[in-house]
Amino acid sequence: MLFGRRSNPTVDYRAMHDCAGCKGGVQAEAGTEEEAPTLSISTRYAKTNFLGRVMLEVLVKTRYTGRSNVSPRLVHRGMACSLPVFPERKMFIQNFGMATWPLRLPIKKALRRALEAGARGVLIDARNETPPREMSQSAQREFQHYLAELGLTLTGFCFPTRHALHDSRNLDQRLSAIKQSMQFCASMKTRVLLVDVGTLPPLNEKTQAELKLLTDVLTDLATQGNYLGVTVCITPAGGDLAQLRELLDQIQSGPIGINLDPATSLFNDQNPTDIVRQFHDRLQHVTARDATRSRDGVGQETAIGRGEVAWEEVLAVLAEAEYSGWVTVQRTSGEKPGIDMENGIKYLQNIWLD
Its pTM stands at: 0.74
Stronger pLDDT, 165 or 30, i.e. the higher one = 165
Pick the range with the lowest mean pLDDT from 11-15, 176-180, 187-191, 328-332. Answer: 11-15
Taking residues 311-337, what's their average pLDDT? 93
Instruction: Return d(Cα 203, Cα 245) in angstroms, integer.
Output: 13
Cβ(229)–Cβ(193) below 8 Å: no
Domains and CATH numbers, the chain: 1-90 (no CATH), 96-353 (3.20.20.150)
Cα-atom radius of gyration of the chain, to the nearest Å? Answer: 23
Taking residues 191-202, what's their average pLDDT? 92
Taking residues 293-318, what's their average pLDDT? 91
pLDDT for the residue numbered 198: 86
Identify which of 125, 117, 69 has the alpha carbon closest to the alpha carbon of residue 97: 117
pLDDT at residue 202 tops 70:
yes
Q: Using one digit for the tens of pLDDT, what is the confidence trace for 231-279?
A: 999 999 988 999 999 999 999 999 999 999 999 999 999 999 999 999 9
Instruction: Return d(Cα 74, Cα 15) in angstroms, integer.
Output: 6
- Three state DSSP letters for the chain: CCCCCCCCCCCEECCCCCCCCCCCCEEEECCCCCCCCEEEECHHHHHHCHHHHHHHHHHHHCCCCCCCCCCCCCCCCCCCCCCCCCCCCCCCCCCEEEECHHHCCCHHHHHHHHHHCCCCEEEEECCCCCCHHHCCHHHHHHHHHHHHHHCCEEEEEEECCCCCCCCCCCHHHHHHHHHHHHHHHHHCCCCEEEECCCCCCCCCHHHHHHHHHHHHHHHHHHHHHHHHCCEEEECCCCCCHHHHHHHHHCCCCCCEEEEECHHHHHHCCCCHHHHHHHHCCCEEEEEECEEEECCCCCEEEECCCCCCCCHHHHHHHHHHCCCCCCEEECCCCCCCHHHHHHHHHHHHHHHHHC
Q: Using one digit for the tens of pLDDT, what is the confidence trace for 211-243?
A: 999 999 999 999 999 999 999 999 999 889 999
pLDDT for the residue numbered 165: 84
Instruction: Return d(Cα 274, Cα 201) in angstroms, integer.
Output: 19
pLDDT at residue 47 tops 70:
no
pLDDT for the residue numbered 167: 84
pLDDT for the residue numbered 298: 82
Taking residues 200-207, what's their average pLDDT? 87
